[in-house]
Amino acid sequence: MSQPFRKQQEITFADQFPISRWIITDICSLSDVIKWREIKCSITMRDDAQWLILEDVANGRIGSERIFRQQEDLLANEDEWLMSRSADSWKDPAEIPDARLSVLPFTQTSGPNHNLPKNSDAIDFFNLLFPAALMELIAKETNNHVKTCSFLGHGTPGWVPVTTHEIKGFLGLVILMGIQILPDPSQYWSLNHYDNSYTFYRTMSFQRFKQIADNIRMGSFLHSEYCGTTDPADPLHIFRPMMELLGGAMWTTYQPNCCLTIDRALLPSMEEDCCQTKGRPQTQPQVWLLCDSKSGYCHRLFFQVGEKGGQDLGFSVVPKLVRDLENKQHQVYLTNSLASVPLMRRLLEQGIYASSSFPPPNPILPRELWESGQLEKPGDFLQRQCGPLLATRWRDTKEMGCLTTNATAGEPDVVWRRSQTKPGGLDPINRPMAFRLLQENMRGVDICKQLLACNPLGGIVQDRHWRSFFWFLVNLSIVNAFIVLRESRKENPPTWVQDGLFSQVNFRRRLGNQLAKCAQKYLDSTDVSSPRRAAAEGQQEPTKQRCKNCNLKELRRDSVHGCVACKASLCNEPLCFWEFWTKESFL
């Protein structure tokens, strides 16, 4: 077999990092690609990105006709990266003729995009973000999972196929459990422990709730493996149907505003262990969110599995999140782990402005740029420009760096800070426009994460990555529904909104009760003798009542038996039945 690659040239820059350029002469098997990677003498941003492209070609995910265009893109990124690494490329904006950057205005329509009437309630907005097709998918995959388990000999005893109405009721109870946390889930069905226990009792029994909680699936690894539909190359294959339905609903329900934020969010089960893996966050699955900078609405998410760092991280995450935003003059604010000079140039070519901040010294900018000039007091700043990119160093309480394509050099803003000389006073300090835009619009994902952490879902186990991700998607749909309702009905708030202040707690309580009623209405419409109703109601413990006949004799005897005809509680003794019926007939 012919050699697929040949080394064309090797160049080095000031920091002595070798960069190997490779030209593709043939497309071969994945084994040859792996062999090439083993003998590769350097690992750079371009080399790793090129490896991903070659792997896609060998696996047939992209065609060979696209490889040459992507190879040219990678070489262009390398040239841009080399240029940005040279301190001579970053010049004082005052020394550059026509250095003023022009930022085109944002003119697209934005905000909620739906046809709901003005009197729509919480469940109507939730159905926008969590459509009926998704409920049907969950019910179908849950039943398939239980059926496969039963076939393999470890199924759930007494299982009755779940319906979409039961899934809605189950989600409603999970939402209500998150509002008031109890130590034992069974206490939600006890009037002594929970005031709203009647809603739980009417929706389903505790046994049925546990059955659904243990078996609920958006896709089953076991069923996929048994049916032969697994995809070893895609670890998220069971999530794809749910993510497609949910992603389409999230994108169409709320049109993106001008300013957007991209940052990482932790799965619920990972947050407790965050301190243990803080030094190596790549080892756990990561969820990247594209959120509105003001409201926190999540437009799109990207679930990343595997380790990836450096500039490759930005190129593997950001293009997937900003898809369909090209040439609309959006301004995207990136977390510092995603930012790089080639990425920001590429986004600007696509009509997307970008900005990111980072603490000094950061390898995004040349080392000489950090060492040139001292920022002695708060308000001092230093700016350098390389083409359309503006780098800013600014001292607030501490020094920070910023790389942006959506701000013009100069144009200082004024911000007030606590005075160091006047007790209780405030002093004005200068703030570059780049930092003003960044500080005002970088909090979108933080707002979303705060709403997710407030009143999380209860009564569920998140002992696996897939469970955490599933419930993360459900919780994210609730948060998005709350934001859309708040934005849509701020002029005419619902009656359950007190004093026009939209509270997520009230929204979740309203939504939980409405979802529970969906299961209650369906249960009331079923036949009393049906196995589905028996499974939903469960085997209830009989209530002990005082015997009516013994009570007339001033004797206290509690019994669970009685007369079916007259609904009287009587002892399990023939004498009590005879005396009670004789007296009733005589009277």
Give the pLDDT score at 194.
Answer: 87
Q: What single-letter DSSP state applies at residue 57?
A: H
The CA distances from residue 454 to 418, 449, 461, 511, in Å, are 31, 9, 18, 15
Task: Flag whether pLDDT at 377 surpasses 60.
Answer: yes
Q: How confident is the model at residue 24 (pLDDT cuts 50, 70, 90)?
A: very low
Q: How confident is the model at residue 2 (pLDDT cuts 50, 70, 90)?
A: very low
Contact in structure between 289 and 263 (CB atoms under 8 Å):
yes
Question: Tokens representing 341?
Answer: 């000079």
HEC sequence for 453-489? HCCCCCCCCCCCHHHHHHHHHHHHHHHHHHHHHHHHC
392 falls within a domain: no
Task: Flag whether pLDDT at 548 surpasses 90.
Answer: no
Q: What does residue 220 show for φ and ψ, rounded to 5 degrees?
A: -110, 125
Q: Summarize pLDDT for 327-341 with one digit per residue, the tens.
A: 999 999 999 999 999
Q: Summarize pLDDT for 501-511 with one digit per residue, the tens.
A: 999 999 999 99
Q: Are residues 128 and 222 in the same domain?
A: yes
16 conformational bin, left if phi > 0, alpha if psi -120 to 50, beta if neither: left
Give the pLDDT score at 392.
Answer: 92
Taking residues 542-549, report their average pLDDT.
64
The amino acid at 286 = Q
Q: Which of 5, 49, 9, 50 is nearest to 25 (CA)?
A: 5
Q: What single-letter DSSP state applies at residue 83?
A: H
What sign for the dihedral angle of Cα 189, 190, 193, 199? positive
Q: How many domains does the chain have?
A: 3
Q: Which of 402, 423, 426, 399 is nearest to 415 (CA)?
A: 426
Q: Summarize pLDDT for 97-151 with one digit per residue, the tens.
A: 776 778 899 999 999 999 999 899 999 999 999 999 999 999 999 998 898 888 8
What is the C-alpha separation between 394 and 524, in angstroms, rounded? 66
Residue where the block lists tokens 């003794």? 573
Q: How confident is the model at residue 582 (pLDDT cuts 50, 70, 90)?
A: low
84-88, 353-357, 548-552: segment of lowest average pLDDT: 84-88
The CA distances from residue 127 to 28, 399, 469, 490, in Å, are 48, 46, 20, 19
Bridge partners of 432, per DSSP, are 412
Q: Are residues 487 and 519 in the same domain?
A: yes
Give the pLDDT score at 46.
Answer: 41
Q: Are residues 78 and 129 in the same domain?
A: no
What is the C-alpha separation between 42 and 111, in angstroms, rounded? 47
Provide, rounded to the nearest whole percent, the portion of the chain with pLDDT above 90.
42
Q: Summarize pLDDT for 430-488 with one digit per residue, the tens.
A: 999 999 999 999 999 999 999 999 888 998 888 788 888 899 999 999 999 999 999 99
Angle between helix 504-525 and 122-129 (nearest 10): 90
Q: Are residues 127 and 227 in the same domain?
A: yes
Helices (H), 399-464: 433-441, 444-453
Question: Tokens representing 413?
Answer: 């803003």
261 falls within a domain: no
Taking residues 316-333, report their average pLDDT.
95
Question: Tokens representing 78?
Answer: 């390398």
Q: Are residues 463 and 517 in the same domain?
A: yes
CA dihedral 80, 84, 89, 95 (to 10 degrees): 100
189 falls within a domain: yes
DSSP-based three-state secondary structure for 359: coil
Does residue 233 or residue 197 have the better pLDDT?
Answer: 197
Q: Show Cβ contacts of residue 495 under 8 Å, excluding neighbours closer than 6 positions.
A: none
DSSP string, 345-393: HHHHHTTEEEEEEEPSS-TTS-HHHHHSS---STT-EEEEEETTEEEEE
Contact in structure between 137 and 484 (CB atoms under 8 Å):
no
Give the pLDDT score at 264.
Answer: 94
Q: Are residues 171 and 208 in the same domain?
A: yes
Q: Are residues 523 and 569 in the same domain?
A: no
Give the pLDDT score at 59.
Answer: 46
334 falls within a domain: no
Cis peptide bond N-terminal to 493, omega within 30: no
DSSP-based three-state secondary structure for 446: helix
What sign for the dihedral angle of Cα 312, 313, 319, 320? positive
Q: What single-letter DSSP state applies at residue 181?
A: -
Q: Are residues 552 and 527 in the same domain?
A: no
491 falls within a domain: yes
Task: Flag whether pLDDT at 573 surpasses 80.
Answer: no
Taking residues 306-320, report their average pLDDT.
77
Q: What does residue 389 show for φ and ψ, rounded to 5 degrees?
A: -95, 135
Average pLDDT in the chain = 78
Q: Are residues 226 and 209 in the same domain?
A: yes
What sign for the dihedral angle of Cα 151, 157, 158, 161? negative
What is the C-alpha separation between 58 and 28, in angstroms, rounded? 7
What is the C-alpha separation between 350 and 325, in angstroms, rounded? 8
Residue where the block lists tokens 């089953």? 220
Q: Are residues 20 and 81 in the same domain?
A: yes
Q: Summarize pLDDT for 478-489 with one digit per residue, the tens.
A: 999 999 999 999
Q: Which of 47, 249, 227 is nearest to 135 (CA)?
A: 249
Q: Summarize pLDDT for 269-305 with one digit per residue, the tens.
A: 655 554 444 444 445 678 999 999 999 999 999 988 7
Q: What single-letter DSSP state applies at residue 161?
A: -
45 falls within a domain: yes
Of 521, 537, 553, the residue at which a domain comes to its end is 537
250-259, 286-295, 412-421: segment of lowest average pLDDT: 412-421
579 falls within a domain: yes
Q: Summarize pLDDT for 48-100 with one digit per residue, the tens.
A: 444 444 444 444 444 444 444 444 454 455 555 555 567 778 888 888 777 67
Count the Cβ atoms, other than its own, within 10 Å of residue 281.
15
113 falls within a domain: no
Q: Which of 32, 399, 368 is nearest to 51 (CA)?
A: 32
What is the C-alpha separation between 260 and 290, in angstroms, rounded? 7
Q: Are residues 20 and 62 in the same domain?
A: yes
Give the pLDDT score at 235.
Answer: 73
Of 40, 58, 85, the residue at which a domain comes to its end is 85
Task: Flag whether pLDDT at 512 surpasses 60.
Answer: yes
Q: Are residues 462 and 530 in the same domain?
A: yes
The domain in which residue 222 lies consists of: 122-233+457-537
The amino acid at 583 = K
Q: Show Cβ contacts of residue 223 under 8 Å, excluding neighbours closer than 6 positions.
A: 141, 144, 145, 147, 148
Q: Show Cβ contacts of residue 7 under 8 Å, excluding neighbours closer than 6 positions.
A: 20, 21, 22
